[in-house]
Every structure is written in C-alpha cells, then in structure tokens.
Amino acid sequence: MMLKRLLLTPLAVAAFALAMMAITPVRADPGDFGAMPGLWKILFRHVANGKAGAPEVHWHCVDEGADPWATFAAWTPAEGECTATDQQRRSTSLAWKLTCKGGSAASAHVDFDSAKHYTGSVTVEGRGEITQVEGTRYAACTSPQD
C-alpha cells in the first residue's frame, strides 16, 4: 500500500516525466526559427575566382515575428533577377534554389550557429560560390529607421 502511494506522488510523476524526456528525442519545429530580433550587421562579399572580395556592410532591423524568408533570405546573386524555389526551412537554417535570368541555376543557404550569428552563400552551377554573407546581431532596434 505504501509503495502505491509513493509511485503516485507529484514528485514521482515529475521524475518519470523528466526521465521520459531524456530518452525521447526532441525535434525542433521549423516554425520556431532560431534568430533573434534586433539590429543586424550583414556583410556581403562577392566571390571571383574563388576569392572573396571586400565586404559590403548593410544594417537591418529585424522585428519580432518577422518572416525568415523575407528577412534572412532576401539576397540573390548580384548578376540579375532570380526567383527562389524549393525553399527548405529548419529551426536554424534556410536553403533554397534560384532560377535566374538567362536560365542559370543556383542554390543558396543561411546557417545559424547561434540566435545572433549566421553565415551563408550562393553557389551557381558551373561557376561555384559567387556570394558569401555573414550576419551578426548587435543590439535591440531603437526606432523604425534602424
């Protein structure tokens, strides 16, 4: 009788739940994108002959709940208009294909190593990597003009 009471105490139930969570794999929901809102410094480097050029610096204020596709995957190769297709979103990465004017095909990605930093690139079939990007969150946004 005493054993049955022990097994049903709130402490025993909590311990059992924690033990089950430890052995059950947890999968991130792709809807829970892991980037923090705030002021981001984004460095773009064009790559020619395998060498990255000087960075172009862009500042961007990311709102709470912003669409990751519109915020972190809005850049395309500098050489023309491209259309994003086959978008794949995970909690810490975005990957997509690009179909560009003239029929060239490319792929792009951004990968977050933390909620405050990411790297990414664009690779064109037959040419290799043509753009590198790196983003770092610096602070909270202070006004709509940030």
What is the reported pLDDT for 98? 87
Does 129 or 12 have the greater pLDDT score? Answer: 129
- Within a domain: residue 28? no
| Phi and psi, residue 45, nearest 5° | -130, 125
Q: Which stretch, 73-77, 86-90, 98-102, has highest mean pLDDT?
A: 86-90
Number of domains present in the structure of the chain: 1
What is the reported pLDDT for 5? 38
Mean pLDDT computed over 81-96: 86
- Within a domain: residue 6? no
What is the reported pLDDT for 100? 80
Report the run of H or E that residue 111 belongs to, with start and end.
Answer: strand 105-114
**Structural domain for 110, as ranges:** 38-139
**Tokens read off for 99:** 């179909």
23-76 confidence digits (pLDDT tens) = 333 333 445 677 889 999 999 999 999 899 999 999 989 888 888 878 888 776
Confidence check: pLDDT of 145 > 70: no
The burial of 79, by beta-carbon neighbours within 10 Å (0-12 exposed, 13-18 middle, 19 or more buried), is given as middle
What is the reported pLDDT for 53? 94
- Within a domain: residue 118? yes
Residues 6+ apart with CB under 8 A from 43: 55, 56, 57, 58, 133, 134, 135
Does 141 or 18 have the greater pLDDT score? Answer: 141
- Within a domain: residue 33? no
- Within a domain: residue 14? no
- Nearest Cα to 109, choosing from 124, 123, 128? 123
- Within a domain: residue 90? yes
What is the reported pLDDT for 74? 73
Q: Which of 14-18, 46-50, 84-88, 108-112 has the lowest mean pLDDT?
A: 14-18
What is the reported pLDDT for 104? 81
- Within a domain: residue 32? no
- Within a domain: residue 145? no
